[in-house]
Amino acid sequence: MAWDRNQMAARAAQELQDGWYVNLGIGIPTLVSNYIPEGMDVTLQSENGMLGMGAFPIEGEEDADLINAGKQTITELDRTSYFDSATSFGMIRGGKIAMAILGAMEVAENGDLANWMIPGKLVKGMGGAMDLVAGVGRVIVVMDHASKSGDSKVLKECTLPLTGKAVVDRIITNLGVLDVVEGGLRIVECADGVTEEELRAATEATIV
């Protein structure tokens, strides 16, 4: 047993705090918006130039001028503001965004993050990920614990080109929650039905 995508997103939503401005990455992080606790005031930033991102539109109400950073059509809220890309990354680099929840290909025990490139294979680009991890207050990574071939993605050292050096604060996977601390990773909790032994066995990184 372990958490599925929605359970991982629900667990990540517990990291949110009232009044925070938050950036959600593409993939599982996007699902976090479905689990914002009732009554909690969280404003989502989309780095293409929007604060106060709403849900996907209902059919027929798509607007070509209103998309998120994943280029998907979205809607606005009564609190929404729009701005240009330089201003958007000014608030990211300037530390105004409290937290980013991002996907990853690899994370290392010192908080190194790789999520933008597989040399010779995948050359898409880093988009805003390097700016986000360098600038926001807290970086949460949400990903599967192992690759499709079963190798741990929670490593002693990343093998892929880095997105940021020592930038990750907390890792949420299908197997549990780990914090980056002095000397390695600390287990915060195990996913439903996962034992600490199983979590340790599935993790290449040092667990302290």
Subset of residues 179 to 198 that bind other proteins, contact rule: CB under 8 A: none
Q: Which stretch binds other proteins (CB under 8 A): 16-24, 65-73, 100-108, 173-181?
A: 65-73
- The closest alpha carbon to 208, from 178, 179, 185, belongs to 185
Q: Contact with other proteins (CB under 8 A): which of 33, 115, 163, 173?
A: 163
Asked if residue 208 binds other proteins (CB under 8 A), the reply is no
The answer to whether residue 47 is catalytic is: yes
Burial 63-94 (b: 16+ CB within 10 A, else e): eeebbbbeeeebeeeeebeeeeeeebbebbee
What burial class does residue 52 get, using C-beta atoms within 10 Å of its C-beta: 0-12 exposed, 13-18 middle, 19+ buried?
middle
Q: Let me know: does 53 contact 45? Beta carbons within 8 Å.
A: yes
Stretch touching other proteins by CB under 8 A, among 64-72, 137-145, 168-176, 179-187: 64-72
Q: Find the part of the chain contacting other proteins (CB under 8 A) among 16-24, 141-149, 159-167, 180-188.
A: 159-167
Distance of closest approach, residue 94 Cβ to other proteins, in angstroms = 10
Q: Pick the closest to residue 158 from 138, 180, 189, 137 (CA basis).
A: 180
Residue 74, interface with other proteins (CB under 8 A)?
Answer: yes
Rounded to 5°, the CA angle 127-47-74 comes to 110
Looking up tokens 């190798």 gives: 151
Q: Single out the residue of 84, 151, 157, 196 in contact with other proteins (rule: CB under 8 A).
A: 84
| 104 φ, ψ (degrees, to nearest 5) | -155, 155
Span near other proteins by CB under 8 A; candidates 17-25, 37-45, 70-78, 178-186 = 70-78
Greatest Cα pair distance in the chain: 53
Q: Please identify which of the residues 47, 62, 157, 198 carries the catalytic annotation.
A: 47
Chain residues 105-134 in contact with other proteins, contact rule CB under 8 A = 112, 123-131, 134
Give residues 15-44 in contact with other proteins (rule: CB under 8 A): none
Please tell me the number of Cα atoms within 13 Å of 9 on its side-chain side.
16
Which residues contact other proteins by CB under 8 A?
Answer: 46-50, 55-59, 62-68, 70-74, 76, 82-86, 88-90, 92-93, 112, 123-131, 134-135, 161-166
Enzyme catalytic residues:
47
